[in-house]
A and B are shown apart, each in its own frame.
Chain A
Amino acid sequence: MNKMTILLGLILSWLSAGALAMGEADPLLSRVVIDQLEIRDAAHHRPWVLEAQGWTGYDLHKLRWKADLEWVESELEEAVVQVLYSRAADPYWDWQIGWQYQSRPRPEQHALVLGVRGLAPYWLETDAALLLGKQGRMSIQLKLEHEMMLTQRWVLIPELSTQWQRRIEPGLGSGADLALGVRLAYEIRREFAPYLGLVWQRRLTGRAQMARQAGEAVSETQWVAGVKLWF
């Protein structure tokens, strides 16, 4: 933890050194975005999901963080956080490097994150990362999102999110998850939009195999209701 604190301090001080050189055109700013704060209507339970992210930094250099949390019956089932240094690579893309900590599900895991994030042609918000953990653990994450303005306030947001893992359990091969979602949001303000949506999740390859062995469903469709907000 000490090492992390020092690293964070170094990054922040380097960022603020930039501020002196850049002047007021490029002030130090922070943004917090809660992409999804929602309740899901699953087969046997109603989990709460929080997907949040944010940054502190400048036009081209930012310290970013992300958090994915899920509670089932008040128990924290999933808790993953990332802290990343983000640097602009071109007008629309940033590359990112950082660290992921997964506290739930157990066991705790740490991973190095190498990623890109940006806006692909046709207005596709893209976030892709390669994660490298201990004992040769490796996974790839990809998330695509598009905001379709139906009116100046109604927004339809299709989303694809997928994750592939090289080796999930000894003896099993690779595993993958796929989730497709669509959310219909109403922007009461730009910063605040409640929504309703539908999410379809599918476990693939080794993941599907594990689920079948455990007697769980391989795919599932859930209604979701929640709110997006930022400040």
Chain B
Amino acid sequence: MHVPVLPEMAQPDLSRRRFVQGVAAAGAAFSLGVGAAVPLQSRLGPDTLRGQNFTLTYTPTEVNFTGTQRWATAINGSVPAPTLRFREGETVTLDVVNRLAEDTSIHWHGLILPSSQDGVPHISEGFTGIRPGEQFRYQFPLVQNGTYWYHSHSGFQEQMGAYGAIVIEPKAGYPFAFDREYALVLSDWSDESPEAVYATLKKMPHYYNQRERTLGDTWQQLQKDGVAGFFADRDMWNQMRMSDRDISDVTGAIYTFLLNGVPPATGWLGLFQRGETVLLRIINAAAMTLFDVCIPGLQMTVVAADGQYIEPVSVDEIRFGVAETYDVLVTPSAEQAYTIFAQAIDRSGYARGTLTPDPSWTAEVPELDPAPVLGHRDMGMAMHHAGHGAHHAGHHMQPRRRSSTATQPVGQQLTRHALPMGSGPAGFGSRARVVHASTEYGPQVDMRADAAVYQLDDPGVGLRNNGRRVLTYADLFNLYPTPDPREPEREINLHLTGNMSRYMWSINGISFADAEPLFLQLGERVRINLLNDTMMNHPIHLHGMWSDLETGDPQRIPRKHTVIVQPGAKISYLVTADAPGGWAYHCHLLYHMLGMFRHVIVR
């Protein structure tokens, strides 16, 4: 509903307006070892708004994350935007006021709501964006609980600061106990304009990669693998004209990684008292950065994925695809500070925070892991080369061992023998042969993975065999019985495609601009098979309906809103098409999303 902005409604809440502390002052204080000299206020993250009625105002706001003043596309003058606390079962009313010079929108990421309230211009029913000077009233009932987030779905505003956390308190209480909680919003900030970044990527896709293969790497590999081994390995990459160092398109070269809007020089601050159990609601709200999060000295018990409860599993580290959320419980038993360490997937930088009983304490910040290097398996190639691990092509998922204990011991992961299965029953993925559509052939696609396999128990490039217990999708099982136990009626095959050297992204070789909508029959249960024909991780987000990820137990299928498809791999999930209308379906990497996008219509 569009209404003109009335002066009294448009008043931005100036008390909440917050100018973010820059690293210049903060960094100086830190190096002097007087953490307390940094105003505490600047390390605590955004405010929390509660209730049923909210006014969210988009205003250009000055921020300073790098030592330079820049304009952010802030909501209520804050980056991240205020954390919104809702209660399950209530109906919320959110007035979004646009004081920008361009159109805007808010998408409630992961929330199940009518299409008209989903906030994607020209896709959500009847919604074409919020014009400058106008306001839009969102109103919807909350039919779920958990950790979610919200962000602009217009242009590149998400990169400019338009994101915040949503917490929906459960009506029936939590299935676990905790003493305090924090929402942690991870993001990536650049002083460069996103339009300039996108243009640079088109002109030189490896521009931001400062970890390219050099002569030194060649020399080391020659010494390790010998001349024959070296040429065998290099030949494939050289023939394909691809780089095994191509992990992130945009890196720490221009990104400052933020935790709750605080740069790593100071770091976000969270307090606890010894012996308390703390619930951390961690959200990756970055534009382009996957984060690997650990808290040295603390085990994290993962209790929810994308807002939905799972069987608790204890891990040391979690990879966050862009837009994914995990809720974890930690119980710091020592009277000491702990570092929340969120490394960018390419190890070009990190965001960090401190969990501490005393605000003046800081914990040691660990070294970044070595920069990951892609292997042949990440290209979806059959593993006929020696020395690339014991992964073999063609394996299917094995039904998981039913266990009465919630957590699996470290190392007892699913084995991956080829097991005979029915023709793809719910929970186990597809048995269909991989076929590349004819539209995947052309200048817009530079790679097709011919031996892509399910690799749910693979923590992913840069995390394999790192000595830590890393969460994988094979660990995810719904805490409750699968809500829709039906078998899928049909399968849809979508291949994530691109041409890295032209910086083009598409699905089945077809960019969004040229693509037909994807139609789902109202009420049907459908399996979507995603296959990644590129060498980058793509976090794929379906709006409006859950992605029921097939992790090997039909009784306990976990529900996600965003699913990482690893390079050269495939993954399957089931969707109950119970939400009529238009929905966006896309890669959540901001600069991939323009092409790697589909308009889904349920009718």
Contact = CB atoms under 8 A, between A and B. Distances in A.
A162 B514 CA distance: 41
A116 to B, nearest CB: 13
B238 A122 contact: yes
Interface stretch (A17-25, A44-52, A64-72, A165-173): A17-25
B323 to A, nearest CB: 19
A149 B213 CA distance: 7
Contact of A190 (B207, B211, B505): B207
Nearest to A89: B443
A121 B215 contact: no
A23 B513 CA distance: 6
Contact of A149 (B204, B212, B511): B212
Contacts of A60: 443-444, 502
A59 B446 contact: no
Contact of B513 (A25, A93, A151, A230): A25
A119 interface: yes
A31 interface: yes
A152 B513 contact: no
B7 interface: no
A88 interface: yes
A132 to B, nearest CB: 26
A25 B512 contact: yes
Contact of B210 (A21, A92, A121, A152): A152
B269 interface: no
A148 B214 CA distance: 7
Contacts of B482: none
A123 B443 CA distance: 17
Nearest to A91: B446
A121 B445 contact: no
A122 B241 CA distance: 6
A123 B511 contact: no
A29 B195 CA distance: 11
Contacts of B404: none
A88 B199 contact: no
A200 to B, nearest CB: 23
Given A59-B502, A149-B214, A149-B215, A31 B203 contact: yes
A89 B199 CA distance: 22
Given A23-B512, A89-B443, A92-B501, A152 B212 contact: yes
Nearest to B245: A149
B203 A29 contact: yes
Given A26-B513, A29-B202, A148-B215, A92 B241 contact: yes
B436 to A, nearest CB: 14
A123 B594 contact: no
Contact of A123 (B216, B241, B595): B241
A75 interface: no
B499 A91 contact: yes
B310 to A, nearest CB: 35
Nearest to B597: A25
A29 B200 CA distance: 10
A29 B202 CA distance: 9
Interface string A1-30: 000000000000000000001111111010
A42 interface: no
A217 interface: no
Contacts of B499: 91
A90 B499 CA distance: 10
A119 B501 contact: yes
Contacts of B204: 190, 230
Contacts of A76: none
Nearest to B206: A190
B449 interface: no
B239 interface: yes
A152 B211 contact: yes
Interface string A82-105: 000000111111000000000000
A138 to B, nearest CB: 29
B558 to A, nearest CB: 32
A60 B118 CA distance: 34
Given A121-B241, A149-B212, 10 more contacts: A21-B513, A59-B502, A59-B503, A59-B504, A88-B443, A88-B502, A90-B443, A91-B442, A91-B443, A150-B215
29 contacts: A22-B513, A23-B512, A23-B513, A25-B504, A25-B505, A25-B594, A26-B513, A27-B199, A29-B202, A29-B203, A31-B203, A59-B444, A59-B502, A59-B503, A59-B504, A60-B444, A91-B442, A91-B444, A119-B241, A119-B501, A121-B239, A122-B239, A123-B238, A123-B241, A150-B214, A150-B215, A152-B211, A152-B212, A230-B204
Interface of B: 198-199, 202-204, 207, 210-216, 238-241, 442-446, 499, 501-505, 511-514, 594-595
Interface pairs A-B: 10 shortest CB-CB: A25-B594, A88-B443, A91-B446, A23-B513, A25-B595, A122-B238, A149-B214, A150-B215, A121-B239, A31-B203
